[in-house]
A and B are shown apart, each in its own frame.
Chain A
Amino acid sequence: MTEWAEPRDFSEWAKRVFALRPILMIIMVSSIFILELRFDWMERILGSYLMTTNLERPESGSIWEKSRQTRTAQQTLEQILTDRQTLQREARSAATFTQIAENVAPGKGVMLSADHFRKLYLRLAPSMVPDIISPFELLGLFSTGHWRRTYFEKSGAGLMIYLLDANNRVLRQLELGSVLLSQLKRGEVALAESLDQLPVFKNRIYPAGQFFNSLESFPEEVRRSMVPHPETLLEVSGQIVRVGISDETLSGFIELGFEFFDGTQHRVVLVPGHEWAVWRLRSRLEGMDMDHAAGETDDPKKHWTRQ
């Protein structure tokens, strides 16, 4: 390697400066500089390099933070909506008020159409209907055309029902207390203290002993049609003292009224029985067993049913 020596005069210095190597170097450096100014190649190289590393880099910075917040917000909203829709779906598929009451969580309500309420209402036992809202009042509400939707909301152990107009103003507020709901749940209706207070049972009230003696005289499958869910009666505290048979039929059912006495008070529990079976039971109670006396009348139901 040649040791560098200081040029001794101008000509030597000039020789060195204008030699091929320095000139090439100067041209190269200048070209690089000019080309960078003209074509931004350095920026492009860096930009391209950064593009290749893009996916490996963190999702940081305000835009990513915003994106995360948006995702979280959307997830939260989805959750709220899913809960709400599930609640609504369950409410729409509910066949009774009690099923709605079971599905509604405290602080969260469900909205159903006025028609849906009407369907649920029509499934109530007729004797139960006035306890919730009079059918005449309901007819009146329908006739105004204002009633659009119904909102159900938990209220303690009971259920609040709001009949709403198009602007969500409450037209009528109904309350189904916990006692009423548990009665509905058992499929029973306790309305009065005594069968005598219910005109539909007039002249068709029998002592419990006589009723159950007659009931027991039928085969099990017939008895099941007369009192389809006897276990619900077992849940009621007290002793059955009298049983009444309604003079009305509804959709092929006749209500039986069981009067309970728990030592302090009487109350009546209503249970629907199949019309044909109850009719046979009543015949036996009245001493005109249909198995033997079917031909004695054209249509025995006509004597004691009112459609």
Chain B
Amino acid sequence: MSLFAVSLRRFSIIFYLGMTLAGLGVLLTAALFFMAVRELPQVPEPLGRIIETPPTEIFAATGERLMIIGGREVVPLNRISPFFIKAMIATEDHRFWEHHGLDKLRTLKALWITLFERGRIQGASTITQQLAKNLFFSYRRTYMRKFRELLIALQIETQYSKREILEAYLNQIPFGVGAYGIEQAARSFFGKPALELNLAESALLAGLPKSPTRYNPYRYFERAKKRQQLVLARMKAVGYSTVVEAEAAFQAELQLAAHSDGTPKGSYFLDLVLNDLEERYGPEVVYHGGLKVSTTLDPQQQAWAIESLQNGLKKLDQLMGIADGDETGGARPLTHPQGALVAVECNSGAVKALVGGRDYSETEFNRAVESNRLPGSGFKPFLYYAAFEKLGLTPANVFVDKPITIPVTGASDWTPQNFGREYEGPMILKQALMKSVNAIAAQLVERVGPDAVIDVARRSGINSSLKPVYSLALGTSGVSPLEMASAFATYATGGVRHEPFWILRVEDPLGRVLEEQIVRGQRSLDAGIGYQVVDMMRGVLTTGTGRIIRRTGFDLPAAGKTGTSDDFRDAWFTGFTPTLSVSVWVGYDRGLRMRDANGVGITGGRGAAPIWADFMIKATDGEPHREFSVPSDIHFETVDPVSGEIAGHWTQNPVQVALRSGEVAAAAPDKSATEEADRPAVQAPDKPAVEEGQKPTIKKADESAIKEEDLPPE
């Protein structure tokens, strides 16, 4: 056999083998086709059905829209900037107008690259295929899914016009920051409708769908610019823009709409609202029902709350000698202290601002609501109220600040200590609260009992589980900042309790009311006793542990209480004006101790009170000077802070106390007859604070006796 004949024979074999294989391939494809067709989803008619789900919208109290969930803001093609349409086509599928759902050349090229260039996978999905994937398929990558996707794309191409396909596609692609569809994206990123996008903006947006998180211009602007450049290059390549236009667009300054980090404002608050809505209506209604939800949030106060908390925490970082977190924020939640701030309107319970952490994009754990932390001395107002109510004590009664041990049945004795481990001897109760004296608080809880304190805390608005132990009075049961703000508001309103709320009204998509909040209050505390506690807490701001507040320039009538848990793991300040009650907490999520660079612990006065003051100065700017309303049964006396006797000209640092009808401060005794007293007893309201002939023991009694740890930095 000749060489030619051999070659010819081989060629023939290869030819017929190839033909057989091709035939088999066709048969296999046909089999695959019929297999795939069986489970192929139905394509809706019309394609516009994709926008049937009405969006759920959440609004602030001012009417500003805070969030839109689901749904799409659909715009026809003629309401979309031609720049954007061209940018999208150039980037995603430049032969869109020519093919029929499958770009064969591009597919062959992609196949070649994927098969023969190691480590590279080339995509070749057309816009129609992408639409098919988005409408029907999961993101799981399988060959069968890709094949089905292709088949659906072919049907869509046959069934609908190119304009319909493009319109559907542009109205549903995700751009990140919760924006789906070009209209939402244009409004979210540039604060303008899609029709008004210029070339630069269009190119930036057209680059986002590839990876909305990776190219988020708020967080990774440089990356987004590079992607924009690539889009402009594609536009140039396919003849949609000139070199000059592309260069000008790349150089143009982009005016991104005001977003701090590309996440919606008040996200901790929105989480709270969404959780609540889900509980009431179920997730299906919330995410697919098109609810219109009006909330209590004041966007301006919310912005100030975020600003105050973040600035305050930055200062705290500096104070503690902690370096700034890395840009990605990876380790910050663990290495940096966190914080929370809640502002509640006193006479309604409406939550006006709520921040649950220093940065929502870093951690979505809502410390304002979900985190129960020890309030420390912040719990004492409930104790003092209980003592006044149950024991008939008054702010002018004298107790002795001294080391104390309280026997506990079935457990070891309880020996609470003052912060500075120093004791000042006798002082009136108002002074004891202002200075946050633990030894006197312990004596009070021993007498009144923890159950009475729990009862008062419950009536005030604390709902968390509270352990009926003596140490409860010193704040050893965890509470949330929302609870604290709400409970203190009860004192601001003269004892009328308002449940905190954040949803004002819920409507269906047609505007029919599903529910609306009734702002109701219930008297839960006695107005007179409540005022006495308020008056004592006012002293905390003037000369007590929270006096930094006044040094910051905040001068409206206000009351509050600092709180610091054991070993400086939590620092609190909760305070209120007659209109607004605000609680601030700072601390580590992991419960680490907070100390400054010199090893001195961070107290409520140093860590939380400055944040509170910063926020309140802004939130109450322009508000008139409004005093707390004084109940008719209250009268004022000026007394000696040590003996509780009515002050005379000889009294040093007299203190004004609020007394109810029938309560009187002790008359001043004959000064020459005072003797040292071992233990001044708890005084009945109508008895002198210190028995005549007795002189209170004063181990260390001057104004500077406020413990250093409990003081803000000078």
Query: Which A residues are within 8 Å of any B CB, using their own CB?
Result: 6-10, 13, 37, 40, 43-44, 46-48, 50-51, 53-55, 57-64, 66-67, 69-70, 72-74, 76-77, 80-81, 84, 109, 111, 151, 153, 162, 164, 167-170, 173
Q: B48-56, B193-201, B449-457, B535-543: which one contacts chain A?
A: B48-56
Asked whether A67 lies within 8 Å of B52 as measured between CB atoms, the reply is: yes
In chain B, residues 282-320, which have Cβ atoms closer than 8 Å to a Cβ of chain A?
Answer: 282, 284-285, 287-290
Which residue in B99, B137, B155, B519 is a CB contact (below 8 Å) of A40?
B99
How far is A66 from B54 in the complex, measured between Cα atoms in Å?
11
Complex CA–CA separation, A69 to B53 (angstroms): 9
B50 (CB) vs chain A CBs: closest residue: A63
Q: Can you list 24 A-B contacts with CB-CB less than 8 angstroms, sorted by A residue number?
A: A6-B5, A6-B8, A13-B8, A43-B154, A47-B100, A47-B157, A50-B152, A51-B155, A51-B159, A53-B37, A57-B40, A58-B41, A62-B138, A64-B44, A67-B44, A70-B288, A76-B284, A76-B289, A80-B281, A80-B514, A81-B514, A164-B518, A170-B519, A173-B520
Q: A44 vs B264: C-alpha distance in the bound complex, in angstroms?
A: 44
Q: Which residue of A lies closest to B286 (CB)?
A: A73
Chain A residues within an 8 Å CB radius of B514: 77, 80-81, 84
Contact B159 A47 (CB under 8 A): yes
Interface centre among A43, A151, A162 (most CB of B within 10 A): A43
Chain A: CB-nearest residue to B152: A50
Shortest Cβ distance from residue A212 to the other chain B in the assembled complex, whole angstroms: 48
- Contact flag A61-B151 (CB < 8 Å), given A66-B53, A168-B516: no
Mask: chain B, 121-165; 1 = CB below 8 Å from A; 0 = not: 000000000000011111000000000000110111111000000
B104 contacts the other chain (CB 8 A): yes
Report the separation of the CA atoms of residues A142 and B101 in the bound assembly, to the nearest whole angstrom.
Answer: 69
Give A13 to B519 CA distance when docked, in angstroms: 99
- Closest approach, in angstroms, between the C-beta of A33 and any C-beta of chain B? 11
The reply on B4 being an interface residue by CB < 8 A is yes
For window 545-596 of B, CB contacts with A under 8 Å fall at: none
Complex contact A47–B289 (CB within 8 A)? no
Q: Contact at B288–A66, with CB atoms within 8 Å?
A: yes
A-B contact count (CB 8 A): 147
Asked whether, in the complex, the Cβ of A62 is within 8 Å of the Cβ of B348, the reply is no
Q: Is B177 an interface residue (CB 8 A)?
A: no
Is the CB–CB distance between B39 and A58 below 8 Å? yes
Q: Is B247 an interface residue (CB 8 A)?
A: no
Q: Which residues of A contact B43 (CB under 8 A)?
A: 54
A7 to B11, CA, bound (A): 12
Q: List the B side residues contacting A60 at CB < 8 Å.
A: 39, 41-42, 136
Query: Which has the most chain B C-beta neighbours within 10 Å: A7, A69, A151?
Result: A69
Task: Report yes or no: B4 in contact with A37, Cβ–Cβ below 8 A.
Answer: no
Q: A47 near B520 (CB under 8 angstroms)?
A: no
- State which size class the interface on B falls in: 35 or more
B518 and A46 form a contact (CB under 8 A): no
Q: Do the beta carbons of B4 and A167 come within 8 Å of each other?
A: no
By beta carbon, the residue of chain A nearest B280 is A80
Indicate if B424 sits at the interface (CB-CB under 8 A). no
Using a CB-CB cutoff of 8 Å, which residues 95-112 of chain B contact chain A? 99-102, 104
- Decide if A47 touches B154 in the complex (CB within 8 Å): yes
A47 and B138 contact, CB distance less than 8 A: no
Give the residue name and chain of the B residue nearest to A109 (CB): B518
Contact B53 A64 (CB under 8 A): no
Sample of 5 further A-B pairs with CB below 8 A, known A10-B4, A67-B44, A168-B517: A43-B158, A54-B155, A59-B42, A62-B138, A76-B282
A55-B42 in contact (CB<8A)? yes
